[in-house]
Amino acid sequence: MKFSDFVCFEAIIGELQASSRNGAIAELVSALDKAGRLGKGNCEKITKAVIKRENEASTGMGKGIAVPHVQHGVVKDVVAAIGQSSAGIDFSSLDKQLVYSVILLISPADNPDRHLQAMESVFGHLQHDKFRKFLRQSQTAEEIADLLREVDENPSLE
């Protein structure tokens, strides 16, 4: 899967206002909601579901990355929002370091394979030091969107 297949480009945030884990999740869910990707009136419900999942086991995978996610019936297909924090956010990550790039994934409840395909794409890119560095250096939503389009078109870039 390409980033453009599941990342909602209107829900990319160059600098998150939130400084807390829950705040960042709420901000990203709200961005998806504003982009019309979650159906009507589901914003709060999804935020709570993502936080609940995050409380069960941190998705802070280390190296400054967190991938909070939930499978939920309000979406028909997997959709992602991306936010950056220059100050860093505490996600109780595996390596105990702060998180600078947050990728929020909402996947359909009845299609686990689709969720896995999005994960494959996200982690396929994130494991490259160069991609993580470029992502972290991107300061605006436009720069992040450009980076995603670039690796979609030219995966060898990494």
Per the listing, tokens 């993580």 go with 132
The binder of other proteins chosen from 7, 32, 67, 79 (CB under 8 A)? 67
Return d(Cα 62, Cα 39) in angstroms, integer: 32
Q: Residue 114, Cα to own-chain centre: how many angstroms?
A: 16
Per CB under 8 A, 69 contacts other proteins:
yes
Per CB under 8 A, 55 contacts other proteins:
no
The binder of other proteins chosen from 15, 44, 120, 146 (CB under 8 A)? 120
By CB under 8 A, the residues from 132 to 151 that bind other proteins are: none
The binder of other proteins chosen from 18, 124, 131, 158 (CB under 8 A)? 124
Report how many residues bind other proteins under the rule CB under 8 A.
22
CA-wise closest residue to 118 among 73, 156, 71? 71
Q: Please, are residues 156 and 7 in contact by the beta-carbon 8 Å criterion? A: no
Per CB under 8 A, 21 contacts other proteins:
no
Per CB under 8 A, 155 contacts other proteins:
no
Return d(Cα 73, Cα 75) in angstroms, integer: 5
CA-wise closest residue to 86 among 8, 143, 146? 143
Count the neighbouring beta carbons within 10 Å of the beta carbon of residue 72.
17
Per CB under 8 A, 117 contacts other proteins:
yes
Binding interface with other proteins (CB under 8 A): 56-57, 59, 61-63, 65, 67, 69, 94, 112-113, 115-117, 119-120, 122-124, 126-127
